Structure 1
Amino acid sequence: MSVHIDIAGLRPERTAVVLSPLAELGMALHALSEPAHHPGLQGWVTGVTARLDPHLADRMCEADFLWRSTFSDLFLPCAGLPGRIALPGATLGEELDLLDKLSDEQFVDAALEFTCAVGYGECGPTALTDPQVRRRALELAAARGPQQVRFSERLLADPPRIRAWLRQFLQDCDEAFFAEAWSRLSHQLAADARHKTELLRRKGLAEALAAVSPAVTLEEAAGRITVDKLGEGRTATGDGGLLLVPTSLGWPHLMVLHRHDWQPVLHYPVGTHGLAAPASVEQLALRMTALSHPVRMRICRHLARSAYTTGELAQAHGVTAPEISRHLAVLKKAGLITTRRRGRYVMHQLDVTVVARLGSEFLEGILR
């Protein structure tokens, strides 16, 4: 399983390694919402959380579906601009100006990417224009609780108001904690960008991609980039460009923006962090046995990013709910997933802290 980027006709000068303060802010929000995904950032997360204004913390929860699972493409708005050759802004303010340039349809479609029924990377009707897609989006939002339903309803009813709300929220986050973090992290990211740019200039795209991640390869004969992920997708640069965007806060996530008609982006982590060893040989054997089934591996990919109901998993994997239940029972017996009730829905989620003990390679694979 992998994501493919068709680069036929891509001109060398249209591949750029660039920094994005807005994308890094998105990763910061993700790490604060899902600290178990980022064991190497526990100290930073604890420090920020301890001094966070309660009102800002409440607002952070209000729309956390934009960054909790991974993070929304809204944090890379330059990719959605016409021509597909735009670069991120040099400052957070410039990038928020780019976010304002997205159409309401683009904004709503990207904001609902984790709850809307239209498949990611596909061209189809949006929840803003199609009543059936709108109903399905709200049904899926209902499984996430009343807070997400309320936010989704406001988003669909008045996109400009939500856009203004999001911009103000991001500016407040910058003032509260991100500006300090960016002033520290941007130096490392700039050094990495210079290194990758030099590789591009001297040795070509294949060498630069190899330096991004071993999971990224260039198939020159086929004219495509392949990113090894537990997911499938396809996009093309067309007559646009390709962006490589480094992140200091993003490990182990290697993300590919492959939304239809947007500029492709590889958002890759700089540096890695150590993880703890397995608690016991018996537990390790039980958990690895539970994970040996390919369907359970794919289920883990979903549950690592967000909580899902049995019915949602069945629909996503094209199998029956009883079959999904049997796989969930195996994972639960091994202590790999947690279950909680939210209203009339039972939600399942991967215990990333436990999975981390299986080793960094497995964790990186399912969160990549």
Structure 2
Amino acid sequence: MNIDIAGLPADRIVFETSPLAELGLALHALSEPGHHPGVHGWATATAASLEPDLADRLHEAEFLWRNTFSDVFMPFAGVRGGDGRTGATLAEDLDILDKLDDERFVAAALEFTCASHYATGAPSPLTSDVMRTRALDLAAARGPQQAEFAQQLLNDPASVRRWIRRLFEDCEQAFFADTWRRVQVQLVADARHKTELLRRKGLDEAVGAVSPALSLNEGGTRIVVDKLTEGRTNAADPAVGAGLTLIPTTFGWPHLMVLHAQGWRPVIHYPVHRPELPSPASVELLQLRMEALAHPMRMRLCRNLARSPYSTSELADSHGITAPEVSRHLSVLKKAGLVTTRRRGRYVLHQLDLTVVTRLGSDFLEGVLR
């Protein structure tokens, strides 16, 4: 994924906090606790304390945040003629959400129903009969609950907007006010630190501090995001309003999310760093490792190398193949970072790096969830 920043003034790149965006990920963690083992205790306690009425209403709209979470939670990026700034409180963020026009609100609410049209600028289902029919068909394919929501949204967006605002306000009263008080200090400190890093050391340093999955291209005209998702957006588009917003979250890991909808300011929503979290493997390296292990002979070699160090000739004798064949397989495993090598006297010994192999499952999960 790429974010074009050519010609973007440095002061248009901002780090901010958003209570509404954090609520979105908190609701996602409640719906998908398996994605977020670090907040499992919070999710369990919060879910158990919900009043039945609120729990039922959250269930009605959970497709807005269950897969990831909808752009409804970042309205500051979509208000036409807005300044791209977030609210200091949830109420202020919800006031910004009220300023989002109906077409953009509906597009954001149907983001997952009509995912294939997310970045294409397709006509609104409020004005296009073709898109309306398609939206309702896709919603129906996802079940009666989503079909009913989509029908109501298209028939009377104002009532759905009021219903969602009340839902989020009730979430604040039930659990999110306490949660936000607890995490706000860390988020504000992180945004302040990254802002200072950007000012003193430049965008390259600031981007690297946000996530190892972010980098600047050689010319400094593009931020490259190491995600399986394909997408491109322009942070300097005058039709939208030049700007790039980066928002930290305590609930986000392992997700690194990029808002790249056409006509919206790009947003990078990133998890704050925690010392216990390992650095993520790049998607390219993850693919290299999985391909290296897919070969039957290399799998058999790994069986030996997992138990103890072996020389090339020992592996050749054990598997009935030539030493050059073993060397070729070992070269693939080394390139993928799966095998370590050390010299003992006149012998070169190879061994499987168990730590790296152990990380493969979580690396894969993080890669597809990032």
Q: How far is the alpha carbon of 1:363 from its aligned partner?
A: 1.8
Q: Which has the larger radius of gyration?
A: 2
List alignment gaps of at least 5 residues for structure 1.
276-287, 294-355
Distance across 2 between alignment mates of 1:177 and 1:292: 46
Aligned to 1:96: 94
Do 2:84 and 2:245's aligned partners in 1 also have CA atoms closer than 8 Å?
no
Distance across 2 between alignment mates of 1:145 and 1:232: 27
Aligned to 2:84: 86
Moved more, 110-119 or 43-52: 110-119
Distance across 1 between alignment mates of 2:17 and 2:205: 20
Q: What are the within-5 Å matches in structure 2 for residues 92-131 of structure 1?
A: 92-116=90-114, 118-131=116-129
Distance across 1 between alignment mates of 2:48 and 2:129: 43
Distance across 2 between alignment mates of 1:68 and 1:45: 14
Aligned to 1:251: 253
Specify the code of the residue in structure 2 equivalent to 1:111. Answer: A
Percent of paired sites with the same residue? 61
2:219 to 210, 218, 221: 221
Distance across 2 between alignment mates of 1:56 and 1:20: 23
Q: How far is the alpha carbon of 1:84 from its aligned partner?
A: 5.8
Q: How far is the alpha carbon of 1:83 from its aligned partner?
A: 3.9
2:123 alignment partner, SS class: coil
Distance across 1 between alignment mates of 2:215 and 2:104: 30
Distance across 1 between alignment mates of 2:294 and 2:215: 26
Instruction: Give a deviation string over 1:56-105, Cα, whole Å, max 9, x none.
Output: 00000101111001000110000002246321011100000000001100
2:245 alignment partner, SS class: strand
Specify the code of the residue in structure 2 equivalent to 1:23. Answer: A
Distance across 2 between alignment mates of 1:292 and 1:74: 41
TM-score w.r.t. the length of structure 1 is: 0.76
Specify the code of the residue in structure 2 equivalent to 1:252. Answer: P
Aligned to 1:157: 155
Q: How far is the alpha carbon of 1:291 from its aligned partner?
A: 9.8
Q: What are the within-5 Å matches in structure 2 for residues 28-67 of structure 1?
A: 28-67=26-65
1:236 to 229, 234, 237: 234
Distance across 2 between alignment mates of 1:60 and 1:117: 21
Q: What are the within-5 Å matches in structure 2 for residues 130-141 of structure 1?
A: 130-141=128-139
Instruction: Give a deviation string over 1:336-359, Cα, whole Å, max 9, x none.
Output: xxxxxxxxxxxxxxxxxxxx9854
Q: What are the within-5 Å matches in structure 2 for residues 1-368 of structure 1?
A: 3-83=1-81, 85-116=83-114, 118-221=116-219, 223-238=221-236, 239=238, 240-272=242-274, 358-368=360-370
Shift in CA distance, 51/290, structure 1 to aligned 2, threshold 3 Å: farther
Do 1:252 and 1:272's aligned partners in 2 also have CA atoms closer than 8 Å?
no
Task: State the superposition RMSD in angstroms.
Answer: 2.3
Specify the code of the residue in structure 2 equivalent to 1:127. Answer: P
Q: How far is the alpha carbon of 1:360 from its aligned partner?
A: 3.0
Distance across 2 between alignment mates of 1:116 and 1:134: 10
Do 2:31 and 2:66's aligned partners in 1 also have CA atoms closer than 8 Å?
yes
Do 2:79 and 2:101's aligned partners in 1 also have CA atoms closer than 8 Å?
no
Do 2:17 and 2:188's aligned partners in 1 also have CA atoms closer than 8 Å?
yes
Specify the code of the residue in structure 2 equivalent to 1:193. Answer: A
Q: How far is the alpha carbon of 1:143 from its aligned partner?
A: 2.1
Distance across 2 between alignment mates of 1:185 and 1:291: 41
1:243 alignment partner, SS class: strand
Q: How far is the alpha carbon of 1:271 from its aligned partner?
A: 3.0
Instruction: Give a deviation string over 1:17-39, Cα, whole Å, max 9, x none.
Output: 00000000000010001111111
Aligned to 1:302: none
Do 1:244 and 1:265's aligned partners in 2 also have CA atoms closer than 8 Å?
yes
Instruction: Give a deviation string over 1:283-335, Cα, whole Å, max 9, x none.
Output: xxxxx689969xxxxxxxxxxxxxxxxxxxxxxxxxxxxxxxxxxxxxxxxxx
List alignment gaps of at least 5 residues for structure 2.
278-289, 296-357
TM-score w.r.t. the length of structure 2 is: 0.75
Instruction: Give a deviation string over 1:129-182, Cα, whole Å, max 9, x none.
Output: 111111111111122211111111000100000000000000000000000000
